[in-house]
Structure 1
């Protein structure tokens, strides 16, 4: 079921070069208690625009960049001492409305040299709504899954310019600069099960 969203196009389009797209997981069911799916898709091959241009000119490097990725989903729980714990979500995890999840994406550069700029996009499944705790700082957000702008997104609501509520976001994107050989970068966000 697709989200209906009156805030889908209230801001100017930002068109960055997407190196690959990651779907951050799928949750199954619409009842008060749902079962989490362990399916986390693999991202498309990454392209580094500067090295891609060089390779097309002199054919000295491959145009496809090697980036290993791993996406995890964890249930946030609080232990008896009040400390937060991240409990990995798997196919047997039972989720309830109101549970908070943290999605983390790990991206390792396995190229022969550094990647100058990597763009990572993580979708927000329909069964959850973004809460925040987005890292690294200064991400881009999308209320329609296609058009991205710096967060927080702003739009006209009742003829007044204001922040679009996080529950309407459908994806988050980061531009990560200078990823060295065998370096791993991590991106994350938290969401609540509807």
Structure 2
């Protein structure tokens, strides 16, 4: 069974990025905290989350990024982007559900993504999604916003 090691430092460096649309802000205006947790469902279907550093293939991992506005001024038009790590496949679950997806990291659209095959529009498999983006219209001063996506270890 193949095991995927989740390296926290690598995740912090490569998994989350943000883009401020409109007015530029100081680099320290936005603080991001990223966590990776195993998604566990009990017999009753109740979901819990457990910290994880390694996981075998088939394990569902939730990446959750909490963005905090550290300044005394609102941040407007914030685009928050979470890449889907290598050896992981998006499973279709994102919070908030308003996320847009991309298969190339450049072009985003509402989910599910579609493409034309033999003249018909078909859904692009979640396994081909490479990044998700959320547009946060307003992040008030000293407040936080959280986004999350679930992946499956391949």
Normalised to the residue count of structure 1, the TM-score between the two structures is 0.70
RMSD across aligned positions (CA): 2.1
Q: Secondary structure at the match of 1:167?
A: helix
Q: Secondary structure at the match of 1:41?
A: helix
**Per-residue deviation at 1:159?**
2.9
State the partner residue of 2:7: 37
- Kindly tell me the number of residue pairs found equivalent between the two proteins: 150
5+ residue gaps, structure 2:
none
| Larger strand fraction of residues | 2
Larger radius of gyration: 1
5+ residue gaps, structure 1:
1-30, 53-62
State the partner residue of 2:118: 158
* From 41, 64, 68, the counterpart of 2:26: 64
Q: Secondary structure at the match of 2:141?
A: coil
Residues 1:148 and 1:77: Cα distance change in structure 2 (over 3 Å): same
Give yes or no for contact 1:48–1:115 (8 Å, CA) kept in 2: no
Normalised to the residue count of structure 2, the TM-score between the two structures is 0.86
The higher relative CO (CA closer than 8 Å, separation ≥ 6) is in 2
State the partner residue of 1:171: 131
